[in-house]
Amino acid sequence: MQMFCTSLKPKTKQGQGADLNIMTARKITNPGAKSLFDLGVRCKPRSDTTRGMIAAFDSMLGGTIFDAAQASSDDFKTSDQNPFGDECHLRSSRNPVGYSKGARDPKYHGQAMRSAMKAEWIMSQTSEMDGLWRRGVFEKVLRSSLTPQDRVFISRFHYKIKRKGGEFDKC
């Protein structure tokens, strides 16, 4: 069974099937309110929320409840090593050389090498290949050892700038 859109006319009233979202609800219940704060929504300190979630989850699993007040200082020590390995660099805190907000993704290798972000692309290529080698995705084979029936596919990098909230994240 599939659901189809029966009409493309804009639906403005609730009886006509208009979406009842949080903004609609706000307008109906409290027309004077301009934000969630005006509706009485208060944000709890994050640590309280997290602690509550951990306690509830632990009790559900039947384990012990983590109490931050009784924890020793060693429990909060973090390792100097990068837990995600060398592959993961925390590069989101800076914009790479040559990056601009309107920068477009290169379509192929030549375009990437001519772009202002050339150095960043080369670094990304190297880290991508290193990651694949580390995971044992492929092995080297002599081209001369292939039979005439074997097919060799071409491969290429797919260049993509990943953004978070409009800001550069990684590429």
Q: Is 146 in the site for other proteins (CB under 8 A)?
A: yes
Note whether 169 and 162 are within 8 A (CB).
Answer: yes
Considering only residues 48 through 77, tell me which ones interact with other proteins, judged by CB under 8 A. 53, 56-57, 60-62
Closest residue by Cα to residue 26 from 16, 5, 12, 40: 40
Min CB(88)–other proteins separation in Å: 10
In the structure encoding, which two tokens stand for residue 12, read together? 């403005």
C-alpha distances in angstroms, 110 versus 102, 147, 155, 162?
A: 19, 32, 14, 20
Candidates 18-26, 31-39, 71-79, 133-141; binding stretch for other proteins (CB under 8 A): 133-141
**Contact window for other proteins (CB under 8 A) among 34-42, 43-51, 95-103, 108-116:** 108-116
Non-local (6+) Cβ contacts of 158 within 8 A are none
Binding footprint of other proteins, residue count (CB under 8 A): 37
Judged by CB, which is closer to other proteins: 104, or 134? 134
Alpha-carbon span 25 to 45, nearest angstrom: 26
The piece of 11-19, 26-34, 69-77, 143-151 that touches other proteins (CB under 8 A) is 143-151
Interface stretch with other proteins, choices 20-28, 38-46, 91-99, 125-133 (CB under 8 A) = 125-133
Nearest to 95 by CA among 9, 171, 15: 171
Out of 36, 97, 119, 129, the residue judged to bind other proteins by CB under 8 A: 129
* DSSP at 108: S
- Residue 168: helix, strand or coil by DSSP? strand
For the CB of residue 156, give the shortest distance to other proteins in the complex, in Å.
Answer: 5
Contact footprint for other proteins (CB under 8 A): 53, 56-57, 60-62, 108-109, 112-113, 122, 125, 128-129, 131-132, 135-144, 146, 149-158
